[in-house]
Amino acid sequence: MSGPDDPYLAERVRRVLAQDPRVNELGLVVDIAEGRATVSGAVASAERRQAIVTVMHEQFPELELANDVTVHRIATRPTRETLS
């Protein structure tokens, strides 16, 4: 059972986000204070960022969510550097 005074709740949230295939991100940081979960870090796509909201509402509806996660853009082709 988890509640607002559960000292392991932040780690439980982080583990659920890491293991859910919709999110599947290991590097997220979760802080919980006063019934509010703040999730920060970077994900590979906007879909994964939105999936954090979905998973949190499904698995932890009692927590208010602050989604401070950014989308890490990865270029498909590296830019060419010209040396002179």
φ/ψ of 80, rounded to 5, equals -90, 130
Domain coordinates in residue numbering, the chain: 9-71
CATH 3.40.50 fits 9-71, yes or no: no
- The yes-or-no verdict on residue 16 having pLDDT over 50 is yes
Mind listing the pLDDT tens digit for each residue in 62-83? Answer: 999 999 999 987 766 667 778 8
- Report the relative pairing of strands 64-71 and 36-43 from DSSP bridges: parallel
- The yes-or-no verdict on residue 1 having pLDDT over 50 is no
Say what the pLDDT of residue 9 is: 95
